[in-house]
Structure 1
Amino acid sequence: MKIPKAKYDELSQAVYDGCPVPRWLSDNALKVWGIDLARCPAEDTVVVRPLTRLNYSRATWEINKGCNFNCEHCYLADRRFAGLPREEKGKLIQLLCDAGVLWLQITGGEPTIDRDFTYSYRKGYESGMLIEILTNGSRLCQPRLVDLLTAMPPQKVTVSLYGATPESFDSLTRKPGSFRLLMKGLEAARGAGLPLELALIITKHNVHERKAMQSIAEEFGTGYSECTNISPTYDGNPEPLAAQAPGFLDKTAIFEGCSAGKAFFHVDPHGLATMCKVGRENPIDLMGEGLKGLVRLPAVADAQMLRVGGCSGCVFSDQCRVCRPVARARQLAKAPLESYCQHGWRVTASTDRGRQHDRCTNRDHPAPGDTEGAGRCRPCGRHRGPSRGQRARLQRRQPVSLSVNPARVSWRSHVAEPARAVCVRV
């Protein structure tokens, strides 16, 4: 729920004066969340943080890149057990609070195997954060962890599902017994009433079990999402791409922009802040610079979103299915063009010599016999793309919306207004 400053001030005053929760909040809580806050004391129900000049409401944190699984499709470039000491983790969580972060996703590697996970989770929860845990579920059967999450409920526990049988699951994770650990964890989490959601990871090795994986989610009464796009590592290693299930590359949604680096950011195990999990160029040392370093992050994000190389001047740039950091990782990995570019699957144009249109591929060498400027795109110097008439016919065949998305405009305003963080305790 987003509230104007006047209501933030009203809520702050209610907490200070020991008054009940304001009517507008209790009505919305009942309508949207099904929570009855009527006549509840505001000071016992709501955590109100001081204003911050930073506009970050969300963050993701890799508490550690180490993992007890060894999945072939993992996008992490480095999976060593390394990170901040306990005291520094506590300092980092306080920095996130001071930046205005209300929703925190703790991920890894596998976050629950970090020796400071319990300490870090407790610190984040007590600060008023809504916490989501991304986990492989292998430690959810441990009583100490279940007791912690029962006493301090997370907003959500998202568990990755890599198959529906021990054979496929253990083969993908490359850890014998991992499927058994997962099922024990899901049983324990369900018994404790934790808010579970399953992420179904679809690869070429388990795609035949897709329906059975959905059935597992239904058996445990959880919602689920399907992750079908396998990515290279964020530094461009192509090895994970070998796990892509043929025909399951999702290319339907047009990328309409995101607020990475503007309203949310990512932090790695060493306290380095980047725009997101994929766009990791020019990281900011939060532990050394503090909050003043985050003031530079929007400009860092803008630089990574620029269309450079073969992507600059592309006539289909408003219809891209991926963001620039993802496209760059796929370009570095020399991934198939159709996995990230419109020119690879939606349009196949030819020059008068019959060669394929290679625009936006970042290939450095022209085809033999080409002369400068002959049959080439003006923006990028590659072979000429479809004519205006061809583009019109393509758009009639598959209409797309070209309307301006206000969210894309608002990126440029880093501090439109101070962030007001309010957390309702149930």
Structure 2
Amino acid sequence: MHQLITSRFLYDYLVVCPGSIAGIKIPLRQFAELEQAAKSGAPAPSWLIKAARQRWAMDLAPASPVEDFLLVRQRAEPQYSRASWEINLGCNYDCEHCYLGLKKFEGLSMADKARLLHVMRDAGVLWLQITGGEPTIDRDFVDSYALAYELGMMITISTNGSRLWQPKILDALTRMPAYRVVVSVYGATAASYDGLTRRKNSFATFQRGMAAALEAGIPMRLNLVVTEHSADEEAAMVAMAERWGLEHNSYVNMSPTIYGGDESLPAQSAKHLRQRKVFTGCNAGHTFFHSDPHGKASICKVGRDPHVDLMAEGVEGLRQLGAIADQLMLRTGGCSGCQLSGSCGVCRPLAKLYQEAKAPLASYCQHGRKREEVSV
């Protein structure tokens, strides 16, 4: 099993270590040197031995073939360095705020999941987010995670934490460290947490999962989801994260569902509705893509149509996403001719969902706010 990965990343070349957020940038000539060493069975160059010791306190055997501990990722064309994958939309919670809305438990067989992961590998995906629904309830989660790891991906898992205590999952995350496990937190008490998830004892299960993951030393970050149920518990949620010594951020703006439904919006805490940062563009569809449970690739989780069927078209299908992204970002519909578009806080695909949900303008548009609150 590899300890390090070297890969092209956009216009750079990196050496990264699973389970660590630290990495090193190397020039093309050093990447080519590692490629050649892996092909010929040569030992690691001295500069890599030194860098591994300095960056990760890792003592590599100088005489061992570099391929014993380093996975060299092949250069890809087209190259998509990051991707997210909904392994399944099913979930063991029924959260009021969930942007997925209808959480149908369906997706690919394990054989087709493997095909999809190989397509992602061949597209150059180095950072992969595995999400859901709740990814850890998928019957193929551990096998899919293990394959993504073996293919040389730095994996982030987005989870509610409820199954992190399960031995099979803990074993996988211990033997094959994730880049990060991001856990959503829905309250600081059973009343608020269970109220939002609409699942009795979900807070207790979350606490069990967190205790097991913390004891195992799993690298984690917390997303503190502040809704009407937990509007008075943000400070307590922050205190909980700090007690665990975990990085955290608060998520306070609720979004419509992926099909433009409004059923998720009543969970919004009015006093926590914040003006978003100005949207200045993103790389969705150009260097990043999203895949749904059926292998349909879109520019992101929000702009899902048009999409590309990766199971039918493979890596070559991704060449269509750049033009799709450019088309989806055009100001159309209710945003046509907007004089405040230069300081808008949402992208066009997200604005479209809010408009389809008939959401109050104040939840996403500056026209719905008092003039003194608008920063241009």
Class of the TM-score when normalised by the shorter of the 2 chains:
0.7 to 0.9
Deviation at 1:206, TM superposition (A): 0.3
Of 83, 92, 95, which residue of structure 2 is paired with 1:68?
92
Say whether the 8 Å CA contact 2:101–2:263 is kept in structure 1. no
Say whether the 8 Å CA contact 1:11–1:22 is kept in structure 2. no
Residue in 1 aligned with 2:43?
A: 19
Residue type at the aligned position of 1:135: T
Q: Report the Cα distance in structure 1 between the residues aligned to 2:46 and 2:283, rounded to whole angstroms.
A: 31
Deviation at 1:252, TM superposition (A): 4.4
Residue type at the aligned position of 1:225: N
Deviation at 1:326, TM superposition (A): 0.9
Note the alpha carbon deviations across 1:183-216, whole angstroms, 9 max, x for none: 0100100111100111100001101111111111
Q: Report the Cα distance in structure 2 between the residues aligned to 1:22 and 1:347, rounded to whole angstroms.
A: 61
Q: Report the Cα distance in structure 2 between the residues aligned to 1:58 and 1:258, rounded to whole angstroms.
A: 13
SS in 1 for 2:83: strand
TM-score (norm. length: structure 1) = 0.78
Note the alpha carbon deviations across 1:353-395, whole angstroms, 9 max, x for none: xxxxxxxxxxxxxxxxxxxxxxxxxxxxxxxxxxxxxxxxx9x
Deviation at 1:26, TM superposition (A): 5.9
Residue in 1 aligned with 2:239?
A: 215
Q: Report the Cα distance in structure 1 between the residues aligned to 2:200 and 2:185, rounded to whole angstroms.
A: 15
Residue in 2 aligned with 1:10?
A: 33
Q: 1:21 to 1:136 in 2, by over 3 A?
A: farther
Residue in 1 aligned with 2:331?
A: 307
Q: 1:29 to 1:299 in 2, by over 3 A?
A: farther
TM-score (norm. length: structure 2) = 0.88
Work out whether 1:43 is the aligned partner of 2:67. Answer: yes
Residue in 1 aligned with 2:24?
A: none
Of 78, 83, 87, which residue of structure 2 is paired with 1:59?
83
Of 189, 197, 200, which residue of structure 2 is paired with 1:176?
200
Q: Report the Cα distance in structure 1 between the residues aligned to 2:168 and 2:334, rounded to whole angstroms.
A: 52
Work out whether 1:149 is the aligned partner of 2:196. Answer: no
Say whether the 8 Å CA contact 1:14–1:22 is kept in structure 2. no
Deviation at 1:346, TM superposition (A): 5.6
Residue in 1 aligned with 2:278?
A: 254
Q: Report the Cα distance in structure 2 between the residues aligned to 1:22 and 1:253, rounded to whole angstroms.
A: 45
Deviation at 1:29, TM superposition (A): 5.6
Q: Report the Cα distance in structure 2 between the residues aligned to 1:319 and 1:200, rounded to whole angstroms.
A: 27
Say whether the 8 Å CA contact 1:21–1:37 is kept in structure 2. no
Deviation at 1:259, TM superposition (A): 0.3
Work out whether 1:284 is the aligned partner of 2:284. Answer: no
Work out whether 1:103 is the aligned partner of 2:127. Answer: yes
Say whether the 8 Å CA contact 1:200–1:224 is kept in structure 2. yes
Matching of residues 185-224 of structure 1 within 5 Å? 185-224=209-248
State, as a whole percentage, how many aligned pairs show the same letter: 49
Note the alpha carbon deviations across 1:253-280, whole angstroms, 9 max, x for none: 1111110011110000111000001110
Residue in 2 aligned with 1:344?
A: 368
Normalized per residue, which structure has more strand? 2
Residue in 2 aligned with 1:130?
A: 154
Say whether the 8 Å CA contact 2:231–2:272 is kept in structure 1. no
Q: How many residues align?
A: 350
Note the alpha carbon deviations across 1:78-109, whole angstroms, 9 max, x for none: 31111001100111110100010011100000
SS in 1 for 2:228: coil
Residue in 1 aligned with 2:184?
A: 160
Q: 1:174 to 1:187 in 2, by over 3 A?
A: same
Q: 1:54 to 1:169 in 2, by over 3 A?
A: same
Deviation at 1:36, TM superposition (A): 4.2
Residue in 2 aligned with 1:90?
A: 114
Residue type at the aligned position of 1:63: I
Note the alpha carbon deviations across 1:219-261, whole angstroms, 9 max, x for none: 2221111111100102110111101111322214111111001
Q: 1:159 to 1:21 in 2, by over 3 A?
A: farther
Q: 1:211 to 1:301 in 2, by over 3 A?
A: same
Q: Report the Cα distance in structure 2 between the residues aligned to 1:284 and 1:77, rounded to whole angstroms.
A: 22
Residue in 2 aligned with 1:79?
A: 103
Residue in 2 aligned with 1:385?
A: none
Higher relative contact order (CA 8 A, sep 6+): 1
Q: 1:239 to 1:220 in 2, by over 3 A?
A: same
Residue in 1 aligned with 2:322?
A: 298
Q: Report the Cα distance in structure 1 between the residues aligned to 2:220 and 2:364, rounded to whole angstroms.
A: 31
- From the CA coordinates, give the structure whose radius of gyration is larger: 1
Residue in 2 aligned with 1:225?
A: 249
Residue in 2 aligned with 1:243?
A: 267
SS in 2 for 1:212: helix
Work out whether 1:121 is the aligned partner of 2:145. Answer: yes
Say whether the 8 Å CA contact 1:21–1:38 is kept in structure 2. no
Deviation at 1:312, TM superposition (A): 2.4
Of 334, 353, 357, which residue of structure 1 is paired with 2:358?
334
Deviation at 1:22, TM superposition (A): 5.6
Deviation at 1:28, TM superposition (A): 5.9
SS in 2 for 1:8: helix
Deviation at 1:19, TM superposition (A): 2.8
Residue type at the aligned position of 1:48: V
In structure 2, the gaps of 5 or more residues are 1-8, 14-26
User: Which segment is superposed worse, 261-270 or 330-339?
Assistant: 330-339
Note the alpha carbon deviations across 1:334-357, whole angstroms, 9 max, x for none: 111122222222648xxxxxxxxx
Residue in 1 aligned with 2:23?
A: none
Residue type at the aligned position of 1:337: L
